[in-house]
Chain A
Amino acid sequence: MSDLKKPNSFKNFPDEHGNFGKYGGRFVAETLMPLLIEVNRAWESAQKSKKFKHELNYFLDHFVGRPSPLYLAERMTEYLNGAKIYFKRDELNHTGAHKINNCIGQILLAKEMGKTRIIAETGAGQHGVATATVAARFGMDCIIYMGHTDIDRQKSNVFRMELLGAKIIPVYSGTGTLKDAMNEALRDWVSNVDDTFYIIGTAAGPHPYPEMVREFQSVIGKETREQILNLENKLPDTLIACVGGGSNAIGLFHPFLDDENVDLIGVEAGGKGLKTKYHASSLNGGRPGILHGNRTYLLQDDDGQISDAHSISAGLDYPGIGPEHSWLHDIGRVKYVSINDNEALDAFQMCSRIEGIIPALEPSHALAYLSKLAPKLNKDHIIIMNMCGRGDKDIFTVAEKIKEKNS
């Protein structure tokens, strides 16, 4: 450990084995272990490589469109009549969400490693679209695993991926959702170890993925920090982000972990409520276990079989969460709350009308919590919420739900 790091820093994790406290690790079949060690080696040397950094920054600036603005949501601030509200506008990125920050990083790594075939899992399709986009840009074959139930509810993203040249493989195994798509992608990887790179979309999976995804997404938090200091000459009081697997949240939070006066709030999807079986709140409604290569909080039954998650937002519909979030939850550095489907739906509409931004259903969960919290706070209290995706993909789901509600 370098002397420059604070001994008690929250930012010194994971350790060399990929552990965040007792979470994380590398729980995979032996066939994949040598491969993960190879990915880790490539990742470590990429972090030290000026060329890699240079290339990454080039594509973030010119292909993704970074930096994304930090935007004062004046009308929302006025409407909620409390704290001063900023949005980090990651929905303005190419492909409409934060997912591409990570995909660009990982495909550059794949290129460094000489891999020619890219695989990925997707739930809502945002990570699939981002992966298909970078695969097209770098001329690589791209296979996207997607649960058949998600294919039905995210048709426009399926078509976008096909336009970008990706092959979509519907997953019927298990319950045909995101977790099964991830299982299937892992099975593909085990079967095609020589030429394939697996671009995992969230800050979960076996080491080094949680760390790697966090680092690629930390561009969100680093920019935010610089931007808010320029605008307000001080750090924010509160950061809010939605969490499914938790990649946008950890990307925003990580550069602020050691700023103890900055409150960090992760918003889980509460589905139809934590008292029902239909939610996706791994931290507030699950317990630690092992899935997809890491130890973390999971939704599971009494026998340790994984349960299905439920959320109105396909992107939060995952029965696990990144291991760093599990650790931050246990040590209390981040507060994790839960917002249900209806609250998110209301926030979706409210933001569209008041601020002229149609948010994705994922950050609508963060917005819903924001609209509960902000009115209780003073005008000099600064909240930054990560607008991690735009809502175009969700308009049909939302239209249907509004119809249901009104009938």
Chain B
Amino acid sequence: MNSRIFETFLKLKKNNRKGFIPFITAGDPTIGMSLDIIKSLPKVGADLIEIGMPFSDPMADGKIIQASSLRALKEGITIEKILEMISKFRQENATTPIVLMGYFNPIYNFGIDKFLSYCKESGVDGLIIVDLPYEHDSELCIPARKSGLDFIRLIAPTTTDERMPLLLNQSSGFVYCISLSGITGSKEAQIKVVNDTIHRIRKSSDLPIAVGFGIKTPQQASEMLLSADATVIGSIIVEKINEIYSSDKEDNKKLKLINDFINTFSNEIHKQVRN
């Protein structure tokens, strides 16, 4: 059976469309609210959903995702609760792929086998682990792929041509192209850098490519999509969620405001056609 991620990109291609991948931090602003947001994401145009698993020391993340991770941890988020959320999402949605992004320590601590089997049961489709380069593939990447999960690799502008095929060798689902040498939500994505990296990735892989880090406006997103297949929008959404949630608006209006904001990205992204 083909993976949900594979099917999703296949369908996008057939429909001549580009993909929108919103990122949110699990458990931020509250566990209940983040489940509501996740449930509404496919309705506002998400083709895939990336869910951040909070870690106390997120080395590759900028201030926005650092702060949201700490808020979520204060709310009591754990791996078990994240996977429960995903099970609940799956009761309503059987098609939109879910990718978990995080750091290795909480998973290592939870137990690799237990984590992978819980992921499968709850309906997770893929993993992006920031601090596991291919040199450590035997720890999680290979077991994850054996259990039928996609392992999505981050490719940086600094990745050398020599490393590229080695990195892509064990990756599946799609390739995550980091738009800049930096952390999430900090500098602005550079289209020239992105085009160069994508060009180099395509020499070694046929997998679809999503671009992420530093994409702050719908216009920037569509610019990235001239060469990429999908784009990840993270920090700016996480920041907006916090802003709306902390406002004195009524609770039932907050979700709508969040959805409206996310819609501005998906509308723009879905205007893009493949060339």
Contacts and interface: CB of A to CB of B under 8 A. Distances in A.
Closest 9 interchain pairs by CB?
A: A304-B109, A304-B106, A31-B156, A191-B182, A305-B56, A29-B60, A27-B131, A290-B105, A306-B56
B187 A191 contact: yes
Interface string A21-58: 00001111111111100000000000000000000000
A186 B79 CA distance: 25
B135 A31 contact: no
Interface of A: 17, 25-35, 173-174, 179-180, 183, 186-187, 190-193, 289-293, 298, 300, 303-306
Contact of B182 (A28, A190, A306): A190
Interface stretch (B1-9, B157-165, B223-231, B242-250): B157-165
Contacts of B159: 30, 33-34
A33 B109 contact: no
A173 B183 CA distance: 14
B167 interface: yes
17 contacts: A26-B133, A26-B136, A29-B156, A33-B156, A33-B163, A34-B159, A34-B160, A173-B63, A187-B183, A191-B187, A193-B158, A289-B105, A291-B105, A298-B105, A303-B110, A304-B106, A306-B105
Query: Taking chain A's interface residues, is the majority helix, strand, or loop, or is none over half, making it mixed?
Result: mixed
Interface in B148-171: 153-160, 163, 167
A305 B181 contact: no
Given A187-B183, A290-B131, A304 B136 contact: no
Interface residues of B, number: 43
A60 B167 CA distance: 41
B187 A290 contact: no
Nearest to A26: B135
B104 A290 contact: yes
A17 B134 CA distance: 12
B131 A289 contact: no
Contacts of A34: 156, 158-160, 163
B132 A305 contact: no
Interface in B90-126: 103-110
B10 interface: no
